[in-house]
Amino acid sequence: MARIKGRNTAPELLLRRLLWRRGVRYRLHYRTSAGRPDLAFVGARIAVFIDGCFWHGCPEHYVPPRSSTEFWSTKLRGNVERDQRQTARLEAEGWTVLRFWEHEVFEEPERVALEIHGVVTTGELRRPTAQPRVVRVESLDPCGNVERRYLRSLRDDRDLGSEVRERRTGKWKRRRPPD
C-alpha cells in the first residue's frame, strides 16, 4: 500500500496531457480550504478530482478485499465522507466541482477532456448530480461470490438503496490516447 500514489497518477497524467494539448491551463494540487483538487482552474473556480475506483467506491468497479474487511469498510466510508465534505465546502465557496472516475479517464479520455474544456470555457455543467458511491458491501453467500452493495449520493448524503450482484474482479480496458 505504501507504493500507492496520491498525486501524478496515470489517469491524472493522461488527462493533463490532453488538456494541455487543447490549450487549457490549470494549477496542480492547488490548496483550497477543502483540500487539494487534482486540477484547479483558479480564475474560473473549477476543481477537478479524479477518483480511483477502489479508494472512492465506484459503483461499477469497486471490489472489497476479502481480508481485513472491517478496516477496509471503515476506510471506504471515511473516503466517501471526505469526498462529500470536500465537494460541499467547495461548492459553498462558489467552486464548481467536477469528479471523474479513473475508469472514465482511461476508457474515454477525449470525452472527459472535452467536458472539462467545455465547463472551463462556457461555465456550463453537465455532470450527473447524484454521483453514487459504494459505502458498504456485505457478502450474501458463504463463498463470497454474491454481495449486496449499499450506495450513497455524493452530493446530498442520501441513501440510494442497495443492489445485489455477483462479485466481479475484472478491470476495464485501458485505451491508448491518440498521439
pLDDT > 70 in the chain, percent:
89
Residue 22 banded pLDDT, cuts 50, 70, 90: very high
Least trusted range by pLDDT, from 3-12, 37-46, 155-164, 165-174:
165-174
pLDDT for the residue 156: 81
CA separation for the pair 68, 104 (Å, rounded): 28
- Average pLDDT of the residues in 128-138: 82
Cell numbers of 16, please?
493533463
Report domain extents, the chain.
10-129
Average pLDDT, the chain: 87
Strands (E) located in 53-158: 96-101, 132-139, 146-153
* Residues 163, 170: Cα–Cα separation, whole Å: 18
Separation of CA 16 from chain center: 16
Q: What is the CATH number of domain 10-129?
A: 3.40.960.10
Q: Please write the tens of the pLDDT for every residue from 80-114.
A: 999 999 999 999 999 999 999 999 999 999 999 99
Q: What confidence score (pLDDT) does residue 178 get?
A: 54
Residue 132: φ, ψ to 5°: -65, 150
Q: For the chain, what is the total number of helices (H) and then of strands (E)?
A: 5, 7
Per-residue pLDDT at 133 exceeds 70: yes
Q: Report the pLDDT averaged over residues 20-27.
A: 93
CA–CA dist 73, 56 (Å, integer):
11
Give the residue-averaged pLDDT of 6-34: 92
Residue 5 has pLDDT above 70, yes or no: no
Instruction: Give exposure, 57-96, as e/b (b: 16+ Cβ within 10 Å).
Output: bbeebbbbeeeeeeeebeebbebbeebbebbbebeeeebb
Question: For the residues 126-152, what does the mean pLDDT come to?
Answer: 84
Average pLDDT over residues 145-174: 82
Reported confidence tier of residue 1, pLDDT bands at 50, 70, 90: low
**pTM, to two decimals:** 0.86
